[in-house]
């Protein structure tokens, strides 16, 4: 059986075995990192790394969001999925009619899930909603003409944001309540290209991109940058500052926004065979350049994908590129201060530096992500509990 054959384990019953696996996989640095990070996790949690049960089908899986009462959401076997209970029982989420693949990206406190679905016949994609317990899901956007990872999110009060074609929209109870404008200071030709997060208050973070030809200087000018739209629409959106702009090799992206308004994301640079990923953090009042919390030892690049609502945690992936391709990558946990650290792989991972990613963080110190086998690419969804007590500085 493949080392990543999907299995389920309770945190309580498997903690001792899993912790042995963690120390074996991560080495002495993990234990040191555990002690250094102690004190930020809830006292009642038990450190564990679990490869969650999976649905049959092609593809691995990932945890991409957290809800109430231990609910986790994401994808498994190419299908939108969620996990419940101490055993992390896996459930398939019904897809909108006519669609056959997808993922859940987030869930509200009352069980309203949002995700994206793909139709294999023409690779069209839509954003959809699904209420926990319902037998159906509802597409909320028109089908995009080609496959794309449709940006969509939901906050605890059930406000949904997504891209509907080239228009960024916000829904309440299934009804569009506003369209998100391009900031007045954006360059010519700018449009919203993604809405990646909405916090409890209703502030939304997304990405705007524009391009035009400067005839005076005979160059193409391009700028891709994050934007925050304040809750309610009564205030103008904020254009977040970037380190580098005005060239299509650079794109700066806001991936998530927490309840305090802190935005996390990355600056992406790609020119020929020289990619870089630089982590970026913006704080209100959004009047300064982003800060860079640094890299993980042994990795040249890092990007943030998610953040906890109130505990200042950010998670993502550290990457080492070789000839423009990621040769190594590992899930990252950042407490909001100090240097980012990595999270251990589930017990049984075959590589000294396994292929893991982190996408979501909860206030109760859970982190969700994925793991892959380097050779076969088989893998599945991963859940870290007491993540801050497991984060460590690698020695590679």
Least confident of 4-13, 87-96, 138-147, 195-204: 4-13
Per-residue confidence at 353, pLDDT binned at 50, 70, 90?
Answer: low
Residue 340 pLDDT greater than 70, yes or no: yes
* Centroid of chain to Cα 270: 21
What's the pTM? 0.87
Query: How confident is the model over 206-241, as pLDDT tens digits?
Result: 999 999 988 898 888 999 999 999 999 889 999 999
Per cent of the chain over pLDDT 90 is 69
Residue 328 pLDDT greater than 70, yes or no: yes
Element (H, E) at 20: helix 11-26
State the Cα–Cα distance between residues 87 and 8, nearest whole angstrom: 6
Mean pLDDT to the nearest integer, 337-358:
82
Per-residue confidence at 10, pLDDT binned at 50, 70, 90?
Answer: very low
Least confident of 13-27, 177-191, 361-375: 13-27
Bond into 285 cis (ω within 30): yes
Residue 8 pLDDT greater than 60, yes or no: no
DSSP state of 94: P
Q: Which residues contact 218 (CB under 8 A, 6 or more apart)?
A: none
Could you count the other beta carbons within 10 Å of the beta carbon of residue 231? Answer: 17
Using an 8 Å Cβ cutoff, are 384 and 13 in contact? no
Mean pLDDT to the nearest integer, 368-395:
89
Residue 7 pLDDT greater than 80, yes or no: no
- What's the residue count for the chain? 396
């Amino acid at each position: 059986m493949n080392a990543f054959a999907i299995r389920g384990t309770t945190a309580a019953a498997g903690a001792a075995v899993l912790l042995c696996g963690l120390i074996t996989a991560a080495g002495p640095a993990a234990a040191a990192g555990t002690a250094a990070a102690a004190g930020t996790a809830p006292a009642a949690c038990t450190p564990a790394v679990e490869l969650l049960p999976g649905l049959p089908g092609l593809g691995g899986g990932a945890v991409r969001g957290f809800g109430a009462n231990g609910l986790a959401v994401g994808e498994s076997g190419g299908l939108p999925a969620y996990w419940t209970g101490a055993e992390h029982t896996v459930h398939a989420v019904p897809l909108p009619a006519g669609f056959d693949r997808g993922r859940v990206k987030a869930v509200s406190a009352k069980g309203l899930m949002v995700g994206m679905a793909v139709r294999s016949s023409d690779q069209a994609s839509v954003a959809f909603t699904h209420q926990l317990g319902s037998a159906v899901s509802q597409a909320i956007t028109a089908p995009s003409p080609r496959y794309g990872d449709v940006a969509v999110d939901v906050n605890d009060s059930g406000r949904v944001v997504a891209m509907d074609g080239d228009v960024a929209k916000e829904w309440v109870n299934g009804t569009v309540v506003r369209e998100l404008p391009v900031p007045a200071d954006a360059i010519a030709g700018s449009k919203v290209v993604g809405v990646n997060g909405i916090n409890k208050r209703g502030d939304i973070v997304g990405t705007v991109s524009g391009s035009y030809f400067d005839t005076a200087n005979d160059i193409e000018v391009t700028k891709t940058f994050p934007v925050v739209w304040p809750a309610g629409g009564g205030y103008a959106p904020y254009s977040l500052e970037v380190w580098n702009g005005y060239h299509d090799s650079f794109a700066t992206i806001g991936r998530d926004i927490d309840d305090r308004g802190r935005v996390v994301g990355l600056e992406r640079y790609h020119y020929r065979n020289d990619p870089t990923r630089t982590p970026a953090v913006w704080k209100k009042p959004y009047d300064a350049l982003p800060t860079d919390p640094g890299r993980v030892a042994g990795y040249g690049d890092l990007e943030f994908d998610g953040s906890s609502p109130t505990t200042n945690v950010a998670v993502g992936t550290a990457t080492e590129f070789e000839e423009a391709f990621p040769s190594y990558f590992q899930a990252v946990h950042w407490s909001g201060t100090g240097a980012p650290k990595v999270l251990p792989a589930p017990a049984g991972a075959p590589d000294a530096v396994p292929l893991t990613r982190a996408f979501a963080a909860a206030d109760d110190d859970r982190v969700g992500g994925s793991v892959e086998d380097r050779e076969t690419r088989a893998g599945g969804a991963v859940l870290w509990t007491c993540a801050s007590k497991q984060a460590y500085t690698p020695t590679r």
